Structure 1
């Protein structure tokens, strides 16, 4: 098991969150010193985390999280995660890994290739980029800095659980998110099932 260098909290600030549908909740935002990749990742602590918090690793998605793009399910997943974590108590780690780690500009280049018929993973490969470049070392560091060593993970992605376990985090259970399929993102969701074994019900993701 690799030795994960320790990170420490840098600052903690209380922030009231408000979503376009009217949902509101108070959160504690935590920043860190010493994260392995040097990026400005953020922990969003919601409710009372307790000894076995519900945790989500949410990769930044400017198009989905901010602009409401229907080409992915990121925005709805973020909204769902905040409420579910607040109800139970836990942490949402907002990770600055746009486009599964390839960056915003490359993600939009991949979108252009998807418009020509490639799926999201094939488009990354065509650009000479990894299908998924994300590394969750910083996430494990953040959890350690918050005193969290065991979690229930809110995710459909088995790779997140596998990486966290390899980094020393005890993932007790992987809790699936909802299915947020639209006419615009159904091919994207099917690709996640077929390429990376996301636990989404494939029968519900038929392409019309």
Structure 2
């Protein structure tokens, strides 16, 4: 059975809202969780939940490696913790979808942060903030020829509705007001800075390229200035 989606009128992106440091959040629970990935890599995470996050969602902070040592050294000019804000992606993180690079980025981030000491923020912002069903609707529109941003707009949503105010609250609640940001996305750095977290350095992730996500990665590079070296892909023409 084929499902036909009715396209909403083309919308403009969500208007820019002036940003200010979010109110303080408080640590709710800390629990140690052993992690093991399908490729055999394992580590241990200090998983933290919070009271007072501005969007009311159940975001998680995972402390990995010697994150306590990183924080303790900051007043003396130490290297800030390595931090990745990772937006939830059920299809990529759990089912291994190759339409995006989310699953490999998550796996990479956990190991790199565990090696250096820092935090993975697992943020409940599926589909760039539009939700799981809408993301799958957007996939259907991409199959019809739109790119990932055009598809969101055709559904009447913003190109990217993610807000990192709660991420800033989480970091500040554990004392990480200076960080090294593990991300290819310049908007994450801009938002965290605007919400009161100093980004000392932007550290790019690896490029997890497959035939299925080639166009998706090229659009992120060309449309939103993600720092992705895609070799000889060239400019996106499709």
Question: Which secondary structure does the structure 1 equivalent of 2:127 belong to?
Answer: helix
Q: 2:41 aligns with which of 10, 20, 23?
A: 23
Asked whether the equivalents of residues 29 and 42 of structure 1 are also in contact (C-alpha less than 8 Å), the reply is yes
Instruction: State the partner residue of 1:105.
Output: 133
Instruction: State the partner residue of 1:163.
Output: 191
Q: Which of 1 and 2 has greater Rg?
A: 2
Asked whether the equivalents of residues 189 and 205 of structure 1 are also in contact (C-alpha less than 8 Å), the reply is no
Q: 1:54 aligns with which of 54, 77, 82?
A: 82
Partners in 2 of 1:184 and 1:85 — Cα distance? 27
Distance 1:109 1:149, change over 3 A: same
Question: Which secondary structure does the structure 2 equivalent of 1:161 belong to?
Answer: helix
Asked whether the equivalents of residues 105 and 205 of structure 2 are also in contact (C-alpha less than 8 Å), the reply is yes
- Normalising by structure 1, what TM-score? 0.97
**Structure 1 residue 168: deviation in Å?**
1.1
Asked whether the equivalents of residues 9 and 33 of structure 1 are also in contact (C-alpha less than 8 Å), the reply is yes
Distance 1:168 1:63, change over 3 A: same
Does 21-30 or 195-204 show the bigger shift?
195-204
Instruction: State the partner residue of 2:53.
Output: 35
**Structure 1 residue 204: deviation in Å?**
4.2
- The CA RMSD measured in Å over matched residues stands at 1.3
Distance 1:178 1:3, change over 3 A: closer
Mind listing any 5+ residue stretches in structure 2 that lack a counterpart?
1-18, 75-79
Mind listing any 5+ residue stretches in structure 1 that lack a counterpart?
none
- Normalising by structure 2, what TM-score? 0.85
Q: Where do 1:99-138 residues align within 5 Å?
A: 99-138=127-166
Matched residue count: 208
